[in-house]
Chain A
């Protein structure tokens, strides 16, 4: 901006201060209060604005000042109590009389001081002022002089004369007469840039905020508007906002809905039966151990579903039932199956959904987005509660190639144009697939979930018939961390409100 442009955008306060500095450069802020006629706060505001624009320099000076305290002010006006004591005593030499005219404190301080200096003598309740006392009364002491000077203006501690210094020491020992204050002085001086714009700084009537009044009176006609510094920073705005987790969840839900999937949901606290047994996970499977799964103390168990289904699941574990499988060959326990857990995967929801589906209702395309739990200690890589996204397609003629097709389409929609597949392992799917996507920016392959076709031992007990059920899930947090550039997984569910205010889930990728 040219000097003229800068000058035109100055606030009225800034103009006043600049014009004052034009008359005399290097002024204390206190001087500027006088020279501009503005109050101290306005001067200070103007100084900070001008400094941020590089038009002035502010030198800050810290000074120790001697100022009058409460009693000091009083004595400056009425005289020191010891002097008043003497005056009264000359008129009425009874102690009672003097006492009546001074406060208790004043009397006590004075009598001690006067006696010790030999200015008075006490006899039989009478006060005699000595010649020394008379002389003391008539002459102005250095400390009295100091108090008079302080009444005019505070004095700088470092600039006191020897006599004044002595007086300060003397008064400091007395109650509330003087005090030392530390004060910051700002000395404003023009910078080169500031000097350059001075010719353009004028005090003219400019419209600041446009008001209803200006509009209704028409006073804007012919008036000039102060130009704004359009790049000036603005005060912070606290606005409402969805959690970025919700935003990304919604985006993923949208992908499923676009692909024709129906959303389903189920309980977070689940019977082991639905979380494990119905998925053909043997009851001694390591995933079912205490260190991986949250079990529930209250209520410890729930009720198993209808007998027919329970019987099928039992048999499929024990000998494969009619699925053509060998089964696991052990005695399946209803008691273990009825223990409650916090669900370890949303696959529990898929399984419940399959159990509630009749063969005639096929094809089935459903998805679930929800919390799952693992008995982990919270650290930068692990959460004990996180979000899983899962979809299933159940239909008589779907194939492994269809599973790969869905995965490809799904990940394309998530913003990954390149997808590749390799064998994986999940206890309840066969084929099991580990899909990997090429990160469009980092150009690195990353795992983003798992997929497979449910085993017949899973499907047949639930549906009554064996049809291919394609299933896949993605670890949701990885997507969030990627979009928001978060490195520590705990930050995905951080309790820091500033992180929510700052992070934006906006992405052009999906």
Chain B
């Protein structure tokens, strides 16, 4: 989840009232975020990913201001209609079709203001814009922008410009190959033959979205007016990103002017601060929360969260702020009501539902077996379900067989799912070769086998494996335990000698129940023991519990 930092004094100035750090530590989490920590007046919080509007100190202050009741209800942001024009060339349709833009004037780029703007841009890119795939924001010094600007896709070798903070002219192609930002985001556009570009009236490159701006429009200490572009693949994401950025600047005292987006067919002004509405049924809200709020009360609580609501009997027509991205369903408004009311103010109450508890039969059986084996001196161990082919096949002296394999394991050590427990038990022993013997251990665990009959293509079963390791571990000792276990489970079984390359010839048998093979028992062969770097005899019994329980 995204983390943002801000200065307490700056925050309080934006809120319009002074709050101590302690008070903020108490109140901010109740608004819906995690308090990460603080150092002096520097405060760090973790913002929930559904609230990109809180990724700036201005956005946080706006939400907090209404939450504590200093300025309740919807913020009516104004855009001055202006004649800045952005022409959209049809070449971008296939590449990165959506664009919105704004001019923001009178921006106070104090150190706090510029820091917040940079932070907001970066965090929006990562979260809301899905690492610039859905939207990318460019911020420019208006003085360097000559209108009308054009948004077009151009041949990667046809233009040259100095990328932001760069020292030489580069083609877009060179930027993708050499510039750190180019390398990082190349995958977003390098499949196209033409790259998106925002170009000024004199044919100068202003920005190469979603990669990097031009040095030409870099913000300077004296910059007061900004041109902001947002390009992308998702209209909702693009428009919301522009609204979040521009309203944050307005919160700091700036004024927004519109840009006319002109694509040859239609014209529209952006940013668009039109308010969307959604109906909230008060009884729906009350029945979910378990309360009996009047429509007026609910409207008041929504006002604490920055919403306006018109009351029509039992229904509220709620106006949603233009910077909110997370209101999909009336349930989202119910949560706003709950947060405004305060989670701690709800009276917790158990539901009056009478049901009878029941554990899984297989859990009860597994615990019966655990108790039995513990009585026989075995220690229960738990291994990862993930292991590697080296342990499953090579060390076991076994031929390869089809198993479940991961697509993207972090390490090859854990790259497949075990299909039986014996190899991981031996692996366990090899990690305990320096500890005291006897080591009589058992595991009850899931194993996976490929099986077309299952919807996932994988059959998951529960296996039991028990083993003894000490200087006189042998077949008869473990068979004695198996005999008693089967007697305890009231299961008749028989044994049949088999040949298995992991075991000593003539000392390994398959276990049959109702004519079906359900497991095996035997002494591990010296070769396999040495493969696991073990110098102690080991006898193992493994049973498929899913087949016998």
- 386-420 of chain B: CB within 8 A of chain A: 386, 402-411, 414, 417
Which of A111-119, A167-175, A182-190, A406-414 participates in binding chain B? Answer: A406-414
Nearest Cβ on chain B to A73's Cβ, whole angstroms: 36
Contact B31 A268 (CB under 8 A): no
A496 touches B431 (CB 8 A): yes
- Over the window 101-131 of chain B, the binary record of Cβ atoms lying under 8 Å from chain A Cβ atoms (1 yes, 0 no) is 0000000000000000000000000010010
Which residues of chain B come closer than 8 Å to A329, judged between CB atoms?
236
Asked whether, in the complex, the Cβ of B357 is within 8 Å of the Cβ of A241, the reply is: no
Contacting residue for A241 out of B32, B127, B379, CB 8 A: B379
Give which listed residue, B339, B367, B404, contacts A298 with CB less than 8 A: B404
Query: Shortest beta-carbon distance, B126 to chain A, in Å?
Result: 9
Total contacting residues, chain A, CB less than 8 A: 100
B331 at the interface (CB under 8 A from A): yes
New A-B contacts (7) at CB < 8 Å, excluding given A271-B456, A468-B288, A495-B383: A240-B373, A295-B406, A296-B407, A299-B450, A402-B351, A423-B339, A425-B49
Confirm or deny: A105 has a beta carbon within 8 angstroms of a beta carbon on chain B.
Answer: no
Cross-chain contact of B436 among A236, A246, A259, A262 (Cβ < 8 A): A236
B11 to chain A minimum Cβ distance, whole angstroms, is 19
Chain B 335-360, CB within 8 Å of chain A: the 1/0 string? 10011000110111111011111111
The 8 Å CB contact of A263, one of B34, B359, B386, is: B359
Contact B30 A423 (CB under 8 A): yes
Within 8 A of A (CB), among B352-389: 353-360, 362-363, 367, 370, 373-386
B360 contacts across to A, CB distance below 8 A: 263-265
**A432 smallest CB distance to B (angstroms):** 7
Check: B171 CB closer than 8 A to any chain A CB: no
- The answer to whether A246 touches B380, judged by C-beta atoms less than 8 angstroms apart, is yes
Most chain A beta-carbon neighbours within 10 Å: one of B48, B49, B288, B329? B329
Q: A239-B377, A404-B348, A432-B335 are in contact. Are A325 and B328 (CB under 8 A)?
A: yes
* Stretch of B15-23, B181-189, B252-260, B438-446 on the interface side: B438-446
- A400 close to chain B: CB less than 8 A: yes
- Minimum Cβ distance to chain A for residue B189 (Å): 17
In whole angstroms, what is the CA distance A371 to B382 when docked? 12
Q: Which residue of B lies closest to A295 (CB)?
A: B407
Chosen A-B contacts, 6 in total, with CB atoms closer than 8 Å, are A263-B358, A295-B407, A320-B328, A375-B408, A409-B350, A495-B381
Q: Does B200 contact A (CB under 8 A)?
A: no
- Please give, as numbers and ranges, the residues of chain A lying within 8 Å of B383 by CB-CB distance: 493, 495
Q: Which A residues from 426 to 440 make CB contacts under 8 A with B?
A: 427, 430-434
Shortest distance from the beta carbon of B278 to any chain A beta carbon, whole Å: 9
The answer to whether A340 and B32 have CB atoms under 8 Å apart is: no
Instruction: Give A300 to B404 CA distance when docked, in angstroms.
Output: 9
CB distance from B106 to the nearest CB of A (A): 35
Q: B374–A290 contact, CB under 8 A?
A: no
For A243, list chain B residues within 8 Å (CB): 379-382
Min CB gap A45→B, angstroms: 22
How far apart sit A282 and B384, CA to CA, in the bound complex (Å)? 30
Q: Is the CB of A101 closer than 8 A to any CB of chain B?
A: no
Would B446 and A371 count as touching, CB distance under 8 A?
Answer: yes
Give the contacts of B125-152 with A (CB-CB under 8 A).
127, 130, 133-134
Query: Could you tell me the distance in whole angstroms from the C-beta of A256 to the nearest C-beta in chain B?
Result: 7
Chain B nearest CB, measured from A249 CB (Å): 9
How far is A296 from B457 in the complex, measured between Cα atoms in Å? 11
Chain A window 320-332, contacts with chain B (Cβ cutoff 8 Å), 1 for yes, 0 for no: 1001111111100
Q: Are B406 and A294 in contact (CB under 8 A)?
A: yes
Q: How far is the CB of B508 from chain A (nearest CB, A)?
A: 25
Given A267-B460, A340-B456, A340-B457, CB of A402 within 8 Å of CB of B339:
no
Give the distance to chain B from A494, nearest Cβ to Cβ, in Å.
Answer: 9
Of all chain A residues, the one with the shortest Cβ separation from B437 is: A238
* Contact yes or no, A268 B446, CB < 8 A: yes
**Distance A323 CA – B289 CA, assembled complex (angstroms):** 19
Minimum CB–CB distance from B479 to chain A (whole Å) comes to 18
Cβ of B526 < 8 Å from any Cβ of A? Answer: no
Q: Which residue of B lies closest to A368 (CB)?
A: B360
Contact: A269 with B407, CB < 8 Å? no
Set A297, A405, A423: member contacting B407, Cβ < 8 A: A297
Say yes or no: B50 contacts A425, CB within 8 Å.
yes
Q: Tell whether B513 is near chain A: CB-to-CB under 8 Å.
A: no
The answer to whether the Cβ of A131 comes within 8 Å of any Cβ in the partner chain is no
Closest chain B residue, CB of each to CB of A365: B355
Q: Bound complex: CA of A412 vs CA of B343, how far in Å? A: 18
Chain A CB within 8 A of B266 CB: no
Q: A399-B288, A423-B31, A433-B343 are in contact. Are A323 and B329 (CB under 8 A)?
A: yes
Please state if A431 and B334 are interface contacts (CB–CB under 8 Å). yes
Interchain CB contact (< 8 A) of B377 among A240, A365, A455:
A240
Residue of B nearest to A385 (CB): B384
**CB neighbors of B among A231-289 (8 A):** 236, 238-243, 245-246, 250, 253, 256-265, 267-271, 284, 286
Are B329 and A257 closer than 8 Å at their CB atoms?
no
Given contacts A246-B370, A376-B410, A496-B432, contact A267 B49 (CB under 8 A): no
Contact, CB under 8 Å: A393 / B407? no
Flag if B435 contacts A498 (CB, 8 Å). Answer: yes
Does B167 sit at the interface, judged by CB under 8 A? Answer: no
Q: Is A162 an interface residue (CB 8 A)?
A: no
Contacts of A397 in B (CB 8 A): 287, 351
- Say yes or no: is A456 at the interface (Cβ < 8 Å to chain B): yes
Within 8 Å CB of B435, what residues of A?
Answer: 496-498
> Closest CB of chain B to A324's CB: distance in Å?
6
In the assembled complex, the Cα of A232 lies from the Cα of B432 at a distance in Å of 29
Please list the 3 inter-chain residue pairs (A to B) with the smallest Cβ-Cβ separation, ordered nearest first: A399-B290, A299-B457, A425-B48
Does A305 make an interface contact (CB < 8 A)? Answer: yes
**Cβ A261 vs Cβ B331 within 8 A:** no
Q: Please give me the residue from chain B that is nearest to A257 by CB atom.
A: B357
Residue of B nearest to A399 (CB): B290
Q: Say whether A193 faces chain B, with CB atoms less than 8 Å apart.
A: no
Say yes or no: is A28 at the interface (Cβ < 8 Å to chain B). Answer: no
Cross-chain contact A269 with B436 (CB below 8 angstroms): no
B413 to chain A, nearest CB (A): 9
B458 within 8 A of A: yes
* In the complex with contacts A297-B406, A375-B408, A400-B338, A500-B379 CB distance below 8 A: yes
Q: How far is the CA of A286 from the CA of B362 in the complex (A)?
A: 36
> Within the complex, what minimum Cβ distance (angstroms) separates A132 from chain B?
61
Which chain A residues border B417 with CB–CB below 8 Å?
269, 342
Q: Does B493 contact A (CB under 8 A)?
A: no
Among A302, A326, A363, A399, which residue has its beta carbon within 8 angstroms of that of B456? A302
Tell whether A80 is near chain B: CB-to-CB under 8 Å: no
Q: Which residues of A contact B376 (CB under 8 A)?
A: 240
- Known pairs A243-B381, A325-B328, A325-B329; A406 contacts B351 (CB<8 A): yes
A365 cross-chain contacts in B, Cβ below 8 A: 353, 355
Q: Is B512 interfacial (CB 8 A cutoff)?
A: no
